[in-house]
Structure 1
């Protein structure tokens, strides 16, 4: 079952992104997201690996092949997808509020730049650096 896991599973489960190739599942109390397309999953895994590698300095890590802490992983996923969406929007007009379809965004980027390796990662990394996740609900403002 893990072979079909979506590389952007955490982003989709956070309800901040969606994807037409994603299928949610639950086993006992665990929720997950599977990808219905091997090609789409491979493209997303490649994109995520490129974003992680290019954002090493911003993340203050030297090895991005190992799993990252949850907050840094979300920063790469959500910040990276938002940054990619902004880059694609500059070519077509205004950006949408959230990432509505990861698969379509990745396909659009591949078509526009020829390959995932050729994407403007310097701009995408700026979005990763600027991304701030949701704060926990127990934080109280200082009095």
Structure 2
């Protein structure tokens, strides 16, 4: 789903982490050439996050007008899925305040504990959060 997670250890939610919309206890940073790569230090956590990401894409495909199957997504679509999806999951679980960056691994563990599986999550409010998510606005004179 992008160049940041193209290795077998790449963080599944790397775009959300790099945009500082989320955090994760299982993430390790390293450099690869001139770019920063986020890797998952826990194979089981990466598998669970991969399932969550796949479910987010599947459940939000119609609402976000995503291409079918595994067709590549543009950066803005990936951010909407990852940042909005994690925010929606955080809201569904009541895990903290909306102004605190959600910890991805903790959210996944809590979702599995409360609902038995990630497939049993209440997807309607999560998809609504994805649909409503907006990137932060840059201030005048701010650079990337």
Aligned counterpart, 1:45:
50
Equivalent-residue separation in structure 2 for 1:6 and 1:137 (angstroms): 29
Q: Which runs of 5+ in 1 are unaligned?
A: none
SS at match of 2:46: helix
Q: Contact 1:81–1:99 (CA<8 Å) still a contact in 2?
A: no
Q: Contact 1:4–1:35 (CA<8 Å) still a contact in 2?
A: yes
Equivalent-residue separation in structure 1 for 2:54 and 2:107 (angstroms): 16
What is the TM-score normalised by the length of structure 1?
Answer: 0.87
The answer to which structure has the higher helix fraction is: 1
- Number of residue pairs the alignment of both structures matches: 136
Equivalent-residue separation in structure 2 for 1:64 and 1:15 (angstroms): 28
Aligned-pair Cα RMSD in Å: 1.9
Displacement after TM superposition at 1:28 (Å): 2.1
SS at match of 2:62: helix
Q: Contact 2:83–2:130 (CA<8 Å) still a contact in 1?
A: yes
Q: Contact 1:40–1:103 (CA<8 Å) still a contact in 2?
A: yes
Aligned counterpart, 1:19:
24
Equivalent-residue separation in structure 1 for 2:101 and 2:69 (angstroms): 24
SS at match of 1:99: coil
Residue 55 in structure 1 maps to residue 25 in structure 2 = no
Aligned counterpart, 1:32:
37
Residue 72 in structure 1 maps to residue 77 in structure 2 = yes
SS at match of 1:24: strand
Q: Contact 1:82–1:98 (CA<8 Å) still a contact in 2?
A: no
Aligned counterpart, 1:118:
120
Q: Which runs of 5+ in 2 are unaligned?
A: 1-5
Structure number with larger C-alpha Rg: 1
